[in-house]
Each structure stands twice: as C-alpha cells, then as structure tokens.
Amino acid sequence: MTAAVEAASNNLAVNISTRHLLSGILLARGTVAAGILTQNGVTYKAIQEFPVMVMEKSEQPMPEVPDFKWHPRQISPVFLLVLLGTAVTGYWAYLSGQVNSRFPVFLFVTGGWIVSLSLHEFGHALVAYLSGDRTVAGKGYLTLNPLKYTHGMLSIVYPLIFLIAGGIGLPGGAVYINRSLISGRVRHSLVSLAGPIATALLALLLVIPFILGIVAKSLVTHPVFWSGLAFLAFLEFTALLLNLLPIPGLDGFNALAPFLPYRVQAAMASLSRYAIFLLFILFWMDTPVQTWFWGAIWWTMDLFKVDGNLVGIGYELFRFWQ
C-alpha cells in the first residue's frame, strides 16, 4: 500500500492488483492516504472504469488487442465427435417409427445440449478475448472443447437435477475470465451477454423446421425425432430465459453489474454462491417468478409454432429409464 501511495504522489502510472484495496482507501474519507490519491487524480470512478491500471491522463494507453483470426482447424476433436454423435443419434431417432424408441432421443438431446453448452461458453470466451483477456486462448476456451468448460457441480450435477426433476435447461458451463484485463463497462456487459446470444441463435436454428411447417408434414412418419427436437428447443429457450434473470451468478445479473454502484456489486457478488438454492426456491414453489417464467416459455413455444404436446412427448422419451 505504501508503494502505491508513493507512486501516486509522484504522478506515475500505478499497477493495481485489486481494485478493492484502493476503493476501500477512497471510501474512508478524511485519511491521509485517501487525500494523496484524490490530489493525484485517483478517483473512485476511475478505479471502476480501469480495474487494472490507474494512470494519469497520458502517454500510456491501454494496449490494443490483436485481431482474433479463427480457423476451423482450431476446433477440438472432442467437440467434433460430440457433434457427429449428435447427428448420428438424431438420424437414428429420425428412422425410429415407434414412439417407445426412447434411448436415441436421450442420446440426441444430450449431445445437442453439450453442443449448445460449448457454443455458449465459446461466445463468452471469444468476446472476452476481443475485449482484452487473451488468457482465454491459453486455457483452451476458443477450441469449443466441452471438457474445457466443465465444472463438477455446475456442469454436471446441478443441470442433471434440474433437467430430470423439471425439464429445465440449466446453464452449466464454466469459463474463468480475467476481468481485470478488460476495461470499460460496456465490454464487461457484452462478455456476459455473449453466451446467451449464442444460445439464442442455436434455439432459433432449432425451431426453423417448425416455423416452415416441415414438422407438420412429416410428423406422422417421424414422430420420435420431431419430439426430441421440440424438447431440445424447449431446453434451449428455458436455459436462455433462466440465464437472463437478474440473479447474482447468472449472466443476466453479470451484464447489469458493471453499471451498478460498486457497493451493490460487492454485496450481490457475495450472494452468487447461493444462486442455485434461490433458483430451487423460485421454481419449485408457487411463486410469481415461476408463473411468469413458464408463461413466457410457453408463449415463446407458441410463437415459433412448437407444439407443447411434442415437447411433453420428447421429455418423456428423454427419460428412457422410466
């Protein structure tokens, strides 16, 4: 702390390892340290906008991020195998004429969900890279490898509980972004929104056959596949809407957080560890949020011509163990 204060008093650029320390000093008005920082242009607002560096208005701009040149060769073989497996099991379900053909639907929906998870997390990582955090490339987040996005509880246990218990697509990936390397509130917000945008694009892709009437024309001959696809689209929309809720720990709140006062951010961040329990309360009890959420989901299904009965059949086929 002494070194930082002395450097600021000499009007030099200061490397800050955490913004919490300086924020605390400035909020403690009347202290010698807060006075020295304020006199040299180190303000609370400046710290929030530049979480890594507090610099004089000057000659040391933030380093530019080089253009990201993505190539298909960078796609992980693991992702390609999952994609291929999803296509094969989808074709298996397409050829299944009996509604009791459950296992191919389970494999198809599971594969599709893993693909969507990879695209969601890739969206976060790509925008983070372009915004300044180049460490995501070294972590393998730009390869679409689902194994790189895995967290034991968040990626496997909780999503399975939500899916089996209520047919809800809980976003379960995990990318660790170094937010201190990203400057600007808008960039931080875009990093958080990039994942839901990827999910939304995939969901819209899945409902194209329903919108164009392709499903209605071949439903009698291929009921298993279309039921599975309807359920997968349903999962994507539930994951999208759920993830956009302004609850700490979800992308919806993370997109709003940069524009909130720092004290509010800190208080809400401490609650993020309890987000999963809050979701259980909201969705397994009779609450206004539960009513609004399911009303919005079924309105969306109707908007895109996805029959709710198909969604229900797909859900039952997915649970092949019953």
Catalytic residues: 121
Three-state secondary-structure class, residue 81: helix
Helix (H) or strand (E) holding 137: helix 135-138
How does strand 53-54 pair with strand 14-15?
antiparallel
Segments in 154-287 forming alpha helices (H):
158-166, 185-206, 208-211, 214-218, 223-243, 251-256, 262-269, 275-284
Pairwise CA distance, residues 91 & 113, whole Å? 16
Give 258-316 as a DSSP string. GGS-HHHHHHHHTTGGGHHHHHHHHHHS--HHHHHHHHHHHHHHHHTT--HHHHHHHHH
Sign of the C-alpha dihedral computed for residues 75, 81, 84 and 86 taken in this order: negative
